[in-house]
Amino acid sequence: MVDSVYMPSHPLSAPAERLVEAAQATLAEAGVEGLTLRAVARRAGVSHGAPLRHFESTSALRSELAARGFRALDEAIDKAASQAPGGSSPLRRLEAAGRAYVDQAVANPALFALMFRQEELDPAYPGLAERSAAAFDQLVRHVRAAQDVGLEPGQDTRVLASSLWALVHGIATLWSQGALASTSGASLDSILVAALAIWIPQETPEGTEA
Amino acid sequence: MVDSVYMPSHPLSAPAERLVEAAQATLAEAGVEGLTLRAVARRAGVSHGAPLRHFESTSALRSELAARGFRALDEAIDKAASQAPGGSSPLRRLEAAGRAYVDQAVANPALFALMFRQEELDPAYPGLAERSAAAFDQLVRHVRAAQDVGLEPGQDTRVLASSLWALVHGIATLWSQGALASTSGASLDSILVAALAIWIPQETPEGTEA
DNA sequence: TGTACATCAGTGAACGCGCGTTCACTGATGTAC
DNA sequence: TGTACATCAGTGAACGCGCGTTCACTGATGTAC
């Protein structure tokens, strides 16, 4: 599941790039706890000291993976929104964006866990904050477009975007952790459909949301 | 912040109880990663081998804390719902329940992280699954009562409860991790108010939600 | 009331483990002149 | 074209660290008779 979607966040040398690939595979298989410099070195087939040539700490390597994760998320949302059925409707594009978020998170649960463990990332790592902000800004733009056609027109856009983000994030993380399935017995799709239906009307409202 | 809300999930010996208290303090200060048997022993003032007399593994100790966390959550939601302003309205009680969830989670972020790291808990630990299910069932009852007065009457109750759970869980976890504050700039309360306003009408609807 | 024994909580030394990190080193590649 | 040097990627031994776990042991408390 580690594929070409994970583009470089800034240019790295070829050996560093190979370490990143090994790190993505290690993360997917062993989880955030299992992502250590030594484990990455083993998977990359180099000695355990080699990664320190390219990443000064575990935190730097994790931050690189997180930055790529945010970039991949941003791109997946962009693609899904632009290809949404009934794509001319901002409401349908917003819905597609929410679905894409959940899809990305559920497909890469360990990566998502890593992306949001801020205490284990380096906030100053090049590109990390920018890519995270870019993904959120895209969500804000979709929310604003939806507001322009009548979705919760009186609400502050960033506040509204934050709460939609929290909704899809909560669905994705609770599902990935198995909590939703074991506790509620419902399917991921049924929960997502219900949640989005409450948020986003099926037809463009004509002032009914005001 | 570790207070009497944390009641035993099943009777423990007095020394085990002291270890649980030390574990709660360690968890709050050092996070999930820092919660080790040796760290708990140090804080409890006993030798590092002593905890194994009372908990057969780190996982068992963590599961005990998680079970107490679910119990405290269940009680906090129950209390908040029963004391909600305008308490006779199921919609206001559901709103109060959602707020209580976020309040509990934000007050004990490390405990919440632990409660939902299922891979580090023992699912067979006495009381854990029961208390987790009890908290969710309480939410389901509040949602059902709200549906009875007109909230999303056509929706499956457990699906609806799941998506409300995901909403408040997402708000709480993203906020605790600092992601919402750093990315959106909005306050926790403004996001929570906006999210609940979308979900739960301010006045009892008379068929407008059908 | 006294003796013998069992149970319980805790001690402290020891073990092996994986980890990050350091360091002197090798060997290949690139660059200066 | 050849020599000298610098840079880069990687090696492998070694270090100290905190961890879970084992184990023989101590000392206090409780129970049987």
Residues 5-44 of B with CB under 7 A from strand C: 13, 15, 18, 41
DSSP symbols for B123-144: TTSTTHHHHHHHHHHHHHHHHH
Are the C-beta atoms of A147 and A153 separated by less than 8 Å?
yes
- Residue-wise pLDDT for A108-131, tens only, equals 999 999 999 998 999 999 999 999
**Is residue A88 classed exposed, middle or buried when 0-12, 13-18 and 19+ CB atoms within 10 A define those classes?**
exposed
Residues of chain B with pLDDT under 70: 1-10, 203-210
Give the A:B interface size as CB pairs under 8 Å. 129
User: Is the minimum distance from the CB of A53 to strand C below 7 Å?
Assistant: no
Q: Please judge whether B174 and A199 are an interchain contact, meaning their C-beta atoms are less than 8 angstroms apart.
A: no
Q: How confident is the model at residue A193 (pLDDT cuts 50, 70, 90)?
A: very high
Q: CB–CB of B186 and A118 under 8 A?
A: no
Report the gap between the CA of A77 and the closest CA in chain B (Å).
17
pLDDT at position B2, please?
37
Letter string b/e over residues B80-109, b meaning 16 or more CB atoms within 10 A of that residue's CB: bbeebeeeebbbbbbbbbbbbbbbbbbbbb
B15: distance to nearest CA of chain A, Å? 31
CA distance, residue B188 to nearest chain A CA (Å): 9
Residue in chain A lying closest to B169 (CA): A170
Residue B74 at interface with chain A, using a CB cutoff of 8 Å: no
Q: CB A116 to CB B173 under 8 A? A: yes
- In this prediction, residue A88 has a pLDDT band, given cuts at 50, 70 and 90, of confident
Q: What's the pLDDT at B110?
A: 97
What is the full DSSP assignment across chain A?
---TT---SS---HHHHHHHHHHHHHHHHHHHHH--HHHHHHHHTS-TTGGGGT-SSHHHHHHHHHHHHHHHHHHHHHHHHHT-TTTT-HHHHHHHHHHHHHHHHHHSHHHHHHHT-GGGS-TTSTTHHHHHHHHHHHHHHHHHHHHHTTSSTTS-HHHHHHHHHHHHHHHHHHHHTTHHHHHH---HHHHHHHHHHHHS-SS--SSTT-
Whole-model pTM over 0.85: yes
Nucleotide nearest to A41 (CA to C1'): D10
- Rounded Cα gap, residues B116 and B170, in angstroms: 12
Q: Is the pLDDT of residue A143 over 80?
A: yes
What pLDDT, on a 0 to 100 scale, did the predictor assign at position A147? 97
Instruction: List chain A residues with CB under 8 Å of B156.
Output: 186, 190, 194
**Partner A contacted by B202 (CB < 8 A):** no
Residue A11 sits at the vertex; the CA angle it makes with A7 and A16, to the nearest 5 degrees, is: 85
Facing A184 at nearest CB: one of B158, B174, B198: B158
Read off the pLDDT of residues B167-181 as tens digits, 9 standing for 90 and up: 999 999 999 999 999
B162: contact with A, CB 8 A cutoff: yes
- Our measurement of CA B20 to C1' D24, in angstroms, reads 28
Contact B190 A116 (CB under 8 A): no
Mean pLDDT of A167-172: 98
- Is strand D within 7 Å of residue A49 (CB)? yes
User: Taking the CB of residue A171, how many other CB atoms lie within 10 A of it?
Assistant: 29
Q: What is the pLDDT of residue A11?
A: 82
Are B141 and B81 contacting, i.e. CB atoms less than 8 angstroms apart?
no
- A195/B136 Cβ within 8 A: no
Asked if A169 and B168 come within 8 Å (Cβ–Cβ), the reply is: no
pLDDT at A161 over 90: yes
- Shortest CA distance from B155: residue in chain A: A194
Q: B85 or A87, which is more confident?
A: B85
CB contact under 8 A, B174 and A165: yes
- Within residues 67-126 of protein chain A, the ones with CB less than 7 A from nucleic strand D are none
Dump pLDDT digits (tens) for A9-61: 568 998 899 999 999 999 999 999 999 999 999 999 999 999 999 999 999 99
Nucleotides of strand C within 7 Å of the protein's CB atoms: 8-14, 18-24
